[in-house]
Amino acid sequence: MLKASYPTDKFRNIPTPFYYYDMDVLRTTLHEITQQAAKSDFHVHYAMKANANPSILKEIRMAGLGADCVSGGEIQAAIDAGITSDKIVFAGVGKADWEINLALDHNIFCFNVESVPELEVINNLAGRKNKTAQVALRINPNVNAHTHHYITTGLNENKFGINMNELDTVIELLPSLEHITLIGIHFHIGSQITDMTSFQSLCVRVNEIQEYFFSRHIMLKHINVGGGLGVNYEHPNHFPVPDFEAYFKVFRQHLHLQPQQTLHFELGRSVVAQCGSLIARVLYVKQGATKQFAILDAGFTDLIRPTLYQAYHRIENLSSDEEEELYDVVGPICESSDTFAKACTLNKAHRGDLIALRSAGAYGEIMASQYNLRKLPKSYTSDELQR
């Protein structure tokens, strides 16, 4: 069992709140991904939006992953981290002209295009540079990911992707777009998906959609099935590394690839969630009328997932072995929604205790804000603190 262990003696001198990244957990995770993906020559692009901390990106680049970007800022961060542009894909429903131009200037591998007007704009901008952009059509497969409605993206009602009934129009338009080459199709059905049958349903849909292209004699070199693999937020100590073997196996078994086709993935959360913790201190233990509160110096400005998606994070008291008690664990921000957990079991808490909010490596630090004019949280890696 690979357990995230904390150098609490080192933590004592660091102002809280801060993010702590266990690089052993990250490296083990990356090793597992590359081992499992290599079995079938699958290509993995890391979804930058989960965490763009430079220390993390460096490790991901060294493992050989590409980058899945959703903004010009992310394209720049990927390039700054040394990820080569032939491994960069660019998705997003609202790509601005400057972002498309930046991507064109770097000759990125592929634009994942989400609408007809976007295709026309990319064609136009590429024409001005006398370039040809490689594109994949992001198709909305209308597959339910059975996850929180805020992070479901593959249903017809969502804003993402091109619907199946629009495909004829797109195919008819393509020959007139001289500065665009269609190289593939792209999907992404949602996030924190733990039920493998959702990915199986996606495979079945992709097979059907492939038939559509075959019947029109359109050769697609690349199939990109997006990301979305979930992590175990309840038991980060027992399941620090997601089951990538089972995940890739679903696609190996159910997706029909042509011999010349390459399969691409865009994993975000599953790569980085378990290596990160938000470390905070207890400011006050307050006795309420019916319950007690552990008031932390971290709030939703540091980790917004509980507030935004009612997400669960395991919370541990790193400073106390005393008997467990129930607490509502809350932050200092002037909003009632600034609550990390209700009726949470913690070893008896005191002012100054160090608290770890687990599995916070994905959609944690990167979503931090300065609301209430708070400072952005700093971050430390296990490598730095061991020195």
Ligand X SMILES: *Cc1c(COP(=O)(O)O)cnc(C)c1O
Nearest distance from C-beta of residue 242 to ligand X, angstroms: 10
Q: Which stretch binds ligand X (CB under 6 A): 56-64, 100-108, 242-250, 267-275?
A: 267-275
- Binding flags for ligand X, 21-50, as an x/- string (CB under 6 A): --------------------------x-xx
Nearest distance from C-beta of residue 230 to ligand X, angstroms: 8
Query: Which residue's CB is nearer to ligand X, number 4 or number 70?
Result: 70
Q: Does 360 bind ligand X (CB under 6 A)?
A: no
Q: Which of residues 92-121 bind ligand X (CB under 6 A)?
A: none
226: left (phi over 0), alpha (psi -120 to 50) or beta: left
Nearest distance from C-beta of residue 189 to ligand X, angstroms: 10
Query: Which residue's CB is nearer to ligand X, number 228 or number 377?
Result: 228
Query: Which residue's CB is nearer to ligand X, number 74 or number 353?
Result: 74
Helices (H) and strands (E) in the chain, counts: 12, 17
Nearest distance from C-beta of residue 46 to ligand X, angstroms: 9
Nearest distance from C-beta of residue 49 to ligand X, angstroms: 5
In the Cβ-directed half-sphere of 269, how many Cα atoms lie within 13 Å? 20
Considering only CA atoms, which of 162, 186, 180 is closest in space to residue 263? 186
Residue among 22, 68, 302, 316 that touches ligand X (CB under 6 A)? 68
Distance CA 73, CA 82 (A): 14
Query: Which residue's CB is nearer to ligand X, number 266 or number 302?
Result: 266
Q: Which of residues 237-256 bind ligand X (CB under 6 A)?
A: none
Distance CA 95, CA 346 (A): 45
Nearest distance from C-beta of residue 256 to ligand X, angstroms: 22
Distance CA 366, CA 50 (A): 7
Q: Which stretch binds ligand X (CB under 6 A): 5-13, 268-276, 277-285, 307-315?
A: 268-276
Nearest distance from C-beta of residue 153 to ligand X, angstroms: 7
CA angle 182, 183, 185 (to 5 degrees): 95
Applying CB under 6 A, the site for ligand X has a residue count of 17
Nearest distance from C-beta of residue 89 to ligand X, angstroms: 8
Give phi and psi for 72, each to the nearest 5.
-65, -35
CA 174 vs. chain centroid, Å, equals 31
Q: Does 227 bind ligand X (CB under 6 A)?
A: yes
Residue among 269, 305, 358, 374 that touches ligand X (CB under 6 A)? 269
- Binding flags for ligand X, 187-226, as an x/- string (CB under 6 A): -x--x----------------------------------x
Distance CA 22, CA 12 (A): 17
Q: Does 374 bind ligand X (CB under 6 A)?
A: no
Distance CA 370, CA 71 (A): 21
Residue among 228, 276, 306, 364 that touches ligand X (CB under 6 A)? 228
Beta strands in 22-145 (DSSP E): 43-47, 66-69, 88-90, 110-113, 133-140
Nearest distance from C-beta of residue 192 to ligand X, angstroms: 6
Query: Which residue's CB is nearer to ligand X, number 33 or number 333?
Result: 33
In eight-state DSSP terms, residue 254 is: H
Give phi and psi for 138, each to the nearest 5.
-80, 115
Q: Does 161 bind ligand X (CB under 6 A)?
A: no
Q: According to DSSP H, which parts of 142-287 are helical?
A: 167-173, 196-215, 244-254, 269-272
Residues 61-80, buried b or exposed e (16+ Cβ, 10 A)?
bebebbbbbbbbebbebbbe
Q: Which amino acid, residue 308?
A: L
Query: Which residue's CB is nearer to ligand X, number 77 or number 267?
Result: 267
Query: Which residue's CB is nearer to ligand X, number 198 or number 277?
Result: 198
Residue 127's H or E segment, with its range, is helix 116-128
User: CB count, 10 Å around CB of 378?
Assistant: 12
List of residues contacting ligand X (CB under 6 A): 47, 49-50, 68, 70, 91, 188, 191, 226-229, 266-270
